[in-house]
A and B are shown apart, each in its own frame.
Chain A
Amino acid sequence: MTRRKLVVVGNGMAGVRTLEEMLKLAPDMYDITVIGAEPHPNYNRILLSPVLSGDKALADIVLNGHEWYEEQGIRLLTGDPVVAIDRAARHVVTASGRREPYDRLLLATGSKPFMVPVPGVDLPGVMGFRDIADVEAMLATARSHRRAVVIGGGLLGLEAANGLHRNGMDVTVVHLLDSLMERQLDKPAAALLRYALEARGLRFLMEARTRAILGEDRVRAVQFEDGLEVEADLVVMAVGIRPNIELARAAGLHCERGIVVHDTLQTFDPGIYAVGECVQHRSTCYGLVAPLFEQARVCASHLAHVGHQRYEGSVTSTKLKVTGIDLFSAGEFNEGEGDETLVLQDPAQGVYKKLVIRDNRVKGAVLYGDTLDGSWYFQLLREGTDISGFRATLLFGRHDLGDAGHGDETRVAALPDDAEICGCNGVCKGEITTAIAAKGLFTLDDVRAHTKASSSCGSCTGLVEALLAATVGQGYDPAPSRKPLCKCTEHSHDDVIRTIREQELKTMAAVFDFMEWQTPDGCHACRPALNYYLLAAWPGEYVDDAQSRFINERAHGNIQKDGSYSVVPRFFGGLVKPDELRAIADVADKFQAREVKVTGGQRIDLFGIAKEDLPAVWADLGQAGLVSGHAYGKALRTCKTCVGSEWCRFGTQDSTGLGVRLEEMTWGSWMPHKFKMAVSGCPRNCAEATIKDFGVVCVDSGYELHIGGNGGIKVRTTDILCKVDTEEEVLEHCAAFIQLYREEAHYLERTAPWVERVGLAYVKQRVLEDAAGRAALVERFLHSQRHAQVDPWAERARGAAAGEFTPLRIAN
């Protein structure tokens, strides 16, 4: 049986999406030909803005490359627009004279930028902002010219202006009205937006009507009705779009503003369908992808002959894609008579939120500065949810305030399955989590490929990543993350960790050999990682390789920018004795420490010690009973404490004493990354236990155990692991948690990202729920500590690794 022929005119977002949906339903039904005017395969038009601003490259925005068409058996003709449809003969004719017969025709010709018909509009240097060619032309102009005028202060105009500005141009935005983006924003939000853009250096000319574009062989200036002229080397028209209907109209299809279609996306000719911006449905033409993708889904089902769906129109919401400006708008954001409004204004934070309420239902929303809850409000709006039950907290969003600091992930975890995550593609949380679990997805790209979430405008990327982290975490099976450890190997961290144990590889040479390392000695990235993995897997057996340690760990001090070293002795739990202080003072004098400083970790740092002197410094400190603080190592660092019940009028437990016990148990342990602990005597939390890798907050009835906190570059507050009653249990859970981290985290991964990667649930399961497993972890930790708790300073003070510290000398 010969297959029916489907011809698609327009290789853009709506047309190709329709094909994708159709191929899912009926992969073999048609011989498909796609004809596109542009010389490119299908790309993400929305992302032209980030391409213009330099945040993305053209290569990043291709949605379906040539190979996709080949795989699907689709013929793709590019750079050859269709110029006529012969409906009687059922074929289309292209500019190059090709005739393509069809049984079904799909028109997806999109729209064209509307060029204001003023004198001079045809001059070189005047353009719209619609396709790759436009962006390339703008970028080329920005390299050689300085002044740009963007006509139109709507979404597209502002994105163009921002992009040109980022390319170094002086940009003036001209707007007909007195308020930017008037179709999406109320006046206060528009004023905030304008203020933010002006602060970046954009100029605005409001209430200005263009009279003419001046210039001889290229644009020179723009002239306005009031006579004002603004010089310009480039003029971008972004005042609106017009559905691209000439072809359809010439073929006699019924068109008004757009090609008129029924709820099945059929035109007045039953053999011809149309989707996208070229379409007019129930008197509306759309200019955003979300409704077009809904059309695509319905149209596909009819093309595949499984159609029972109808497209009934869409409510749209908008986000602006200017990096650093968060803006969301949906529905009727200007209140009408009898409507109520809820407004939250925090100018200092640059936050403005307004909800328009009618009959206890959200009718419109404008969010500026904090848009995280945009999709929730949008859902309430579309579903007409009665909000009287939570009206008091509505403006604060779906999360409750107690979540502060726990980040997107907690918020996302709390969303119901039907919460929409990706507005462009209408993908709900449930679809994403199901796909992640069922298909074993690990990366953002996987999720994009399988669910389309985050594949269009990208503004939900953060939420999708948070979902990925939360979901992968829960069902975490140690399936490998596929990234190679470094350029010396194709194996990932997880592969290496597992193979070292399974194959009982006990030397670095054995790892290189068995895992077919591609370099003879590895490199500065993989050698320290392998050294750690081997050490963690075979305590007492593996012989540490000094040459695979970063210099700080080889020299047991912190290298400074001038090549000298710093020395930080350990103060268990932050306690120090007068004799120890005296010894430190003596050392500082004797070896001329150039600075003595109290560290952020409750101990003392001696700076500017010559490497040669280190063993002698350590010998003196050792005499006073001080050992290495490992302030230089991927190792157990400090256990910060507060004064606790011994002295403090609020203290509930002996936090100092517990801190000392914790540090005594754990010091000397090598870790994937540095590991910090703290014990606070009450919830006032003076020891900052909630940003530590392992923290304890004492309460009247016992001890709250916290894990996975991080100060530093990206602050993360801890997750609560559990509450226990006794110090013994604190020690036990601490040891088990550390050992799990030591055995399973990737080298250079601190507990915060590790917990996020594997999921709190997984850690709880291993450390809390599985009592026997916990005991085994503790046992392995203590075993490893028997070999690790050797003071490296004492060893070297006695002469170990002397060559490291003694230079050879030549007199000359």
Chain B
Amino acid sequence: MNDWIVIARLEDIPRLGSRTVVTDTLTIALFRTRDDRVFALRDSCPHRGGPLSQGIVHGTTVTCPLHNWQIDLASGQVLGPDEGCVHAYGVKVEEGLVHLSLTAHQSAA
């Protein structure tokens, strides 16, 4: 079962930018692309835990602000030459509202 939560309006997230969502236990980064797709990743770089939400978004990639690792927003995979992966959460945008699921994986959305 997917527990979708309405978390924000699309315009709360800047284009090519991000917003953080904090829960009691973790911080999630929401990213918005130029073409208004939204992705969610755990806000912690697989390298040394850098806050991905603070990085620069381009295409469907975010560059970590600490040491420039590049992470694919859709899959959470680190792009070569580095290696690693960060958890990606399910997101859907309906009627201008961003829904987040803490259980659905991105690909399931």
Contacts and interface: CB of A to CB of B under 8 A. Distances in A.
Contact of A561 (B12, B25, B66): B66
Interface in A484-527: 519-524, 527
B84 interface: no
Nearest to B7: A808
Interface string B4-31: 0101100011111101111111010010
B3 to A, nearest CB: 9
Contacts of B8: 808
Interface string A520-561: 111110011000000000000000001110110011000101
Given A810-B5, A810-B23, A811-B24, A547 B59 contact: no
A807 B55 contact: no
Contacts of A520: 34, 59
A452 B93 CA distance: 63
A551 B48 CA distance: 17
B57 interface: yes
B14 A807 contact: no
Contacts of A524: 55-56, 58, 63, 68
Interface in A784-812: 803, 807-812
Given A519-B58, A812-B24, A550 B16 contact: no
B102 interface: yes
A36 to B, nearest CB: 38
Interface residues of A, number: 26
A563 interface: yes
B19 A559 contact: no
Interface string B47-85: 011110011111101010110100000000000000000
Contacts of A809: 21-23
A810 B55 CA distance: 22
A803 B56 CA distance: 16
Contacts of B27: 807
Given A520-B59, A546-B14, A547-B56, A561 B24 contact: no
A519 B70 CA distance: 15
Contacts of A546: 14, 17
A522 B20 contact: no
Nearest to B5: A810
Contacts of A527: 56, 58
B15 to A, nearest CB: 7
Contacts of B25: 812
B19 A807 contact: yes
Contacts of A523: 56, 58, 61, 63
A562 B44 CA distance: 10
A559 B24 contact: no
Given A524-B68, A808-B19, A810-B7, A519 B59 contact: yes
Nearest to A549: B56
A300 to B, nearest CB: 47
Contacts of B51: 559, 563
Given A547-B14, A803-B14, A808-B21, A559 B58 contact: no
Nearest to A560: B66
Nearest to A808: B21
Contacts of A563: 49-51, 54
Residue picked from B8, B14, B56, B68, most chain A C-beta under 10 Å: B56
Q: Which of A555, A807, A811, A812 gathers the greatest number of chain B CB atoms within 10 Å? A: A807
Contact of B20 (A554, A562, A807): A807
Interface in A286-317: none
B7, B20, B48, B63 pick with most chain A CB within 10 angstroms: B20
A521 B57 contact: yes
A520 B16 CA distance: 11
B21 A810 contact: yes
Interface in A726-754: none
Contacts of A528: 56
Which of B21, B54, B61, B63 has the most C-beta atoms of chain A within 10 angstroms of its own C-beta? B54
Nearest to A805: B20
Contacts of B17: 546-547
Contacts of A548: 16, 56
Contacts of B13: 803
Contacts of A521: 16, 34, 57-59
Contacts of A810: 5, 7, 21-23, 100
Nearest to B98: A808
Contacts of B30: 808
B56 to A, nearest CB: 4
Interface in B32-54: 34, 48-51, 54
A692 B43 CA distance: 38
Contacts of B20: 807-808
B24 to A, nearest CB: 6
A808 B58 contact: no
Nearest to B43: A563
A803 B19 contact: yes
Nearest to B100: A810
Contact of A803 (B7, B12, B16): B12
Contacts of B24: 811-812
B81 to A, nearest CB: 14
Nearest to A523: B58
B21 A547 contact: no
Interface in A573-600: none
Given A520-B59, A808-B21, A812-B102, A551 B54 contact: yes
A559 B66 contact: yes
Nearest to A562: B49
B56 A808 contact: no
A550 B54 CA distance: 8
B66 A808 contact: no
A283 B63 CA distance: 67
Nearest to B59: A521
A808 B58 CA distance: 22
Given A524-B63, A555-B54, A812 B23 contact: yes
A809 B30 CA distance: 12
B15 A807 contact: no
Nearest to B68: A524
A547 B57 contact: yes
A812 B25 CA distance: 9
Nearest to B57: A547
A548 B14 CA distance: 12
Contacts of B19: 803, 807-808
A740 to B, nearest CB: 29
B58 A522 contact: yes
Contacts of B61: 523
Contact of B65 (A519, A551, A562): A551
B15 A547 contact: yes
A285 B48 CA distance: 61
**Interface-centre pick from B14, B49, B55, B58 (highest chain A CB count, 10 A):** B58
A194 B49 CA distance: 48
Contacts of A562: 49
A550 B102 CA distance: 29
Contacts of A812: 23-25, 102
B21 A807 contact: yes
A21 B14 CA distance: 63
Contacts of A803: 12-14, 19
Nearest to B67: A561
Given A547-B17, A559-B65, 11 more contacts: A520-B59, A524-B55, A527-B58, A546-B14, A547-B16, A803-B19, A807-B19, A807-B20, A812-B23, A812-B24, A812-B25
The 9 closest A-B pairs by CB, nearest first: A524-B63, A551-B54, A521-B58, A524-B56, A807-B20, A547-B16, A563-B51, A551-B65, A547-B17
Interface of B: 5, 7-8, 12-17, 19-25, 27, 30, 34, 48-51, 54-59, 61, 63, 65-66, 68, 100, 102
13 contacts: A521-B59, A523-B58, A523-B61, A527-B58, A547-B16, A550-B56, A550-B65, A559-B51, A562-B49, A803-B12, A807-B27, A810-B23, A812-B23
Interface of A: 519-524, 527-528, 546-548, 550-551, 554-555, 559, 561-563, 803, 807-812
